[in-house]
C-alpha cells in the first residue's frame, strides 16, 4: 500500500539551477520511523542552465539547486476543517465521512475554530504577519478522491504571510559547527486535504477512501532561499520541530525528492511537473498524478464562507462572544517554548555546545530522555551530554531504534553515571556496564558492577604493591621513563591496569607510579 507521505511538485513555478564549482548536495538517508502521512511537502527544482541549452555530459557540471518548498502539514484537530467528522488515523475506510465530506448536494462548509487557531499559532511562531481578514477560494480539478470537484483553500488572501524560519546548517570539517540560515515564508494557508485513491491494478479499478477528505492542512510556502536538499531538509526539520512544539501538527515527514531530481538532470532526464508521493517502504517518491498539461484550476471565491475575520486586543469589539471570535493576542500569550529558545536554554544552563542542543532536539524523545537523566543523577551535565549524545545515541543509531524503543531507561543511565561520578567504577567499566544494560536483562547498573566485580580498586597499599611488581618486571620501561620518554609512563600504567583487570583508576595508578619514580 502506498502511503502518500510527501507530495512534491512544481506549481508552475520554476527556480533556477545554476552550475557552480564548489560544494555539492549529498543525499540524505531515507526517513525512518513513522508510517503515517502527516506532512507533505512540495519542492521545485528545475533545470535552467545559465548557458544556452547544451547537452550536459554526466558529471561535467555540478548543479546548485535553488529550492522552495510547499509543505502540507496535517493539523492536529479532533474534527475536519469544514465538517464535524472525526480525524483519526487508520480507521476503517470511509468510516469518517460526513455528508459534507462526501460532497452531498446542498451541504455547506462550516469552519473549524481549532484549525484557525492552529494556523494563527503557527503563523506567530514563524514570525508571520497574521491577516485580520482572510478569504477562502475554490480550486477546481477533477479527481476521484476530490468529491466536490474542487478543494477549498486560501489562494488570494491567506491567513498568514511574510514570515521567516531560522534553521541551522552543520558546517566545518567534522560538520560540528552550526551556521544559522533564514528562509522566508511567503504564506501559510488553510486548506482541505483530499481523500485517498487506492489503485487495484489487478482488477483495474480504483477504490476511494474519503476518511482523509476534508482534513485540515496548513500549507506553508517557503521562498526559494535554500540552495540544496541538505538545507531544505534541515529547514523542514526545524519547521517540524516547531509544529510539534506548538502541537498544531504531528508533522512526521521525510525528504528524498531533491536528490532524485539532481540525478534525473544529470542523467539527461527532464523534470516533469508532477505530484509525487513518498513510499515509505521503498524509500523513494513515486509519481502520483500528472500535473503536466498546464492545469488551470479556475480559482473562484468560496461563496459559502464569509471572510475569516480575526481580532487583536485593540480591534476586539466590546462585548464580543469569546466563542465567536479569535483573538490573536490571546493566542500569542499561549505560545509554548519554541525549539530555538529550548536550545538556547540548554546551552546556557548546561554549558553544552549549540550543535549538541540541535542533536538533542532533532531526535524524537531525546531531549526528554536527557532531562530525565539530568534530574536523577549527580553527574556533571557535560558528562551526561557526552554519554547521551555519544554512547546512548550511538547505540540507538547502530540498531536503528527510536528513543522510545531504547532498552536503557533514563534512571538506569543516571545510576550508571552516579557510579562513575563517585569513582566506584572506571569509565571503561562504565562502558561495559552500559553494554550489559543494553542486553535488557533487567539488572541494575549496581547489580552488574557487583556481579562482574567492576568496582575500582580502592586499596592504596595493594595498588602500590602491584605497581612495584610491574616496575620490577619491566626494568627497560622504567629506564625509558627515567630517560624522559613521555610515552613510557603510559605503557607502565597500562601494564598495571591489566594486572588489576581494568579495575584500577588510571589517575590513581599514575600518581603512585610518579611518586615511585620520583618524577
Applying CB under 8 A, does 148 fall inside the site for another protein? Answer: yes
Task: Measure the CA–CA gap between 215 and 73, rounded to whole angstroms.
Answer: 10
Task: Measure the CA–CA gap between 153 and 215, rounded to whole angstroms.
Answer: 12
Q: Are 153 and 210 in contact (CB under 8 A)?
A: no
Name which of 102 and 353 has its Cβ closer to another protein.
Answer: 102
Applying CB under 8 A, does 147 fall inside the site for another protein? Answer: yes
Q: Are 32 and 245 in contact (CB under 8 A)?
A: no
| Residue 300 cell numbers, joined | 473562484
How are beta strands 62-64 and 18-20 bridged, if at all?
Answer: antiparallel
Applying CB under 8 A, does 298 fall inside the site for another protein? Answer: yes
Considering the complex, what minimum distance in angstroms separates the CB of residue 321 from another protein?
A: 9
Among 20, 50, 144, 313, binds another protein (CB under 8 A): 144
Stretch that binds another protein, among 3-11, 136-144, 164-172, 353-361 (CB under 8 A): 136-144
Considering the complex, what minimum distance in angstroms separates the CB of residue 105 from another protein?
A: 4
Applying CB under 8 A, does 110 fall inside the site for another protein? Answer: yes
Applying CB under 8 A, does 286 fall inside the site for another protein? Answer: no
Considering the complex, what minimum distance in angstroms separates the CB of residue 379 from another protein?
A: 58
Stretch that binds another protein, among 137-145, 261-269, 416-424, 463-471 (CB under 8 A): 137-145
Applying CB under 8 A, does 317 fall inside the site for another protein? Answer: no
Angle at 205 between CA 204 and CA 207, to 5 degrees: 150
Task: Measure the CA–CA gap between 518 and 90, rounded to whole angstroms.
Answer: 74
Considering the complex, what minimum distance in angstroms separates the CB of residue 199 from another protein?
A: 11
Task: Measure the CA–CA gap between 217 and 115, rounded to whole angstroms.
Answer: 8
Rg of the chain, C-alpha, whole Å? 30
Applying CB under 8 A, does 296 fall inside the site for another protein? Answer: yes
Q: Are 84 and 113 in contact (CB under 8 A)?
A: no
Alpha-helical (H) ranges within 312-454 are: 328-333, 339-350, 354-362, 366-376, 381-386, 393-399, 410-421, 427-438, 445-451
Stretch that binds another protein, among 39-47, 101-109, 247-255, 465-473 (CB under 8 A): 101-109
Among 140, 181, 184, 516, binds another protein (CB under 8 A): 140
Considering the complex, what minimum distance in angstroms separates the CB of residue 117 from another protein?
A: 17
Residue with cell 560544494: 23
CA distances from 50 to 16, 46, 54, 223 (A): 8, 12, 10, 21
Among 24, 32, 206, 348, binds another protein (CB under 8 A): 206
Name which of 288 and 412 has its Cβ closer to another protein.
Answer: 288
Binding mask 207-246 for another protein (x = CB under 8 A): -x--------------------------------------
Residues binding another protein (CB under 8 A):
99, 102-111, 138, 140-142, 144, 147-150, 206, 208, 293-296, 298-300, 303-306, 324
Amino acid at each position: 500500500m502506498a502511503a502518500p507521505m510527501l507530495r512534491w511538485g512544481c506549481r508552475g513555478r520554476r527556480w533556477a539551477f545554476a552550475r557552480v564549482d564548489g560544494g555539492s548536495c549529498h543525499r540524505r538517508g531515507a526517513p525512518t520511523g513513522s508510517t503515517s502521512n502527516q506532512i507533505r511537502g512540495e519542492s521545485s527544482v528545475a533545470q535552467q542552465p545559465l548557458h544556452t541549452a547544451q547537452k550536459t555530459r554526466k558529471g561535467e557540471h555540478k548543479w546548485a539547486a535553488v529550492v522552495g518548498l510547499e509543505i502540507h502539514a496535517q493539523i492536529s484537530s479532533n474534527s475536519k476543517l469544514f465538517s464535524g467528522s472525526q480525524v483519526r488515523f487508520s480507521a476503517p475506510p470511509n468510516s469518517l465521512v460526513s455528508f459534507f465530506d462526501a460532497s452531498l448536494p446542498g451541504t455547506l462548509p462550516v469552519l473549524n475554530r481549532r484549525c484557525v487557531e492552529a494556523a494563527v499559532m503557527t503563523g506567530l511562531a514563524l514570525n508571520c504577519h497574521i491577516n485580520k481578514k482572510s478569504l477562502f477560494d475554490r480550486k477546481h480539478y477533477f479527481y476521484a478522491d476530490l468529491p466536490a470537484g474542487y478543494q477549498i483553500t486560501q489562494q488570494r488572501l491567506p491567513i498568514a504571510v511574510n514570515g521567516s524560519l531560522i534553521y541551522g546548517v552543520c558546517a566545518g570539517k567534522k560538520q560540528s559547527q552550526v551556521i544559522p540560515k533564514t528562509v522566508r515564508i511567503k504564506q501559510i494557508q488553510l486548506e482541505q486535504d483530499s481523500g485517498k485513491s487506492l489503485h487495484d491494478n489487478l482488477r483495474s479499478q480504483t477504490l476511494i477512501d474519503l476518511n482523509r477528505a476534508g482534513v485540515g492542512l496548513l500549507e506553508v510556502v517557503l521562498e526559494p532561499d535554500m540552495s540544496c536538499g541538505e538545507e531544505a531538509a534541515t529547514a523542514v526539520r526545524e519547521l517540524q520541530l516547531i509544529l510539534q512544539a506548538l502541537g498544531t501538527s504531528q508533522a512526521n515527514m521525510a525528504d528524498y525528492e531533491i536528490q532524485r531530481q539532481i540525478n534525473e538532470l544529470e542523467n539527461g532526464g527532464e523534470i516533469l511537473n508532477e505530484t509525487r508521493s513518498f513510499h515509505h517502504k521503498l524509500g523513494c517518491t513515486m509519481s502520483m498524478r500528472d500535473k503536466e498539461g498546464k492545469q488551470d484550476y479556475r480559482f473562484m471565491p468560496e461563496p459559502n464562507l464569509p471572510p475569516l475575520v480575526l481580532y487583536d486586543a485593540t480591534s476586539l469589539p466590546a462585548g464580543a462572544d469569546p466563542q465567536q471570535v479569535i483573538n490573536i493576542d490571546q493566542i500569542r500569550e499561549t505560545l509554548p517554548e519554541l525549539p530555538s529558545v529550548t536550545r538556547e536554554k540548554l546551552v546556557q544552563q548546561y554549558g553544552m555546545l549549540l550543535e549538541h542542543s540541535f542533536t538533542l532536539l532533532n531526535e524524537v524523545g531525546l531531549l526528554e530522555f536527557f532531562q530525565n537523566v539530568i534530574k536523577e543523577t549527580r553527574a556533571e551535565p557535560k558528562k551526561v551530554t557526552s554519554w547521551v549524545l555519544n554512547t546512548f545515541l550511538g547505540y540507538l543509531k547502530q540498531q536503528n531504534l527510536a528513543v522510545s524503543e531504547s532498552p536503557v531507561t533514563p534512571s538506569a543511565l543516571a545510576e550508571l553515571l552516579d557510579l562513575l561520578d563517585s569513582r566506584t567504577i572506571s569509565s571503561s567499566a562504565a562502558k561495559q556496564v552500559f553494554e550489559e544494560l543494553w542486553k535488557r536483562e533487567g539488572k541494575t547498573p549496581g547489580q552488574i558492577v557487583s556481579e562482574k566485580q567492576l568496582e575500582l580498586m580502592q586499596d592504596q597499599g595493594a595498588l602500590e604493591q602491584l605497581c612495584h611488581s610491574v616496575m620490577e618486571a619491566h626494568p627497560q620501561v622504567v629506564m625509558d621513563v627515567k630517560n624522559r620518554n613521555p610515552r613510557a609512563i603510559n605503557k607502565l600504567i597500562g601494564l598495571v591496569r591489566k594486572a588489576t583487570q581494568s579495575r584500577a583508576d588510571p589517575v590513581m595508578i599514575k600518581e603512585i607510579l610518579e611518586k615511585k619514580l620520583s618524577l
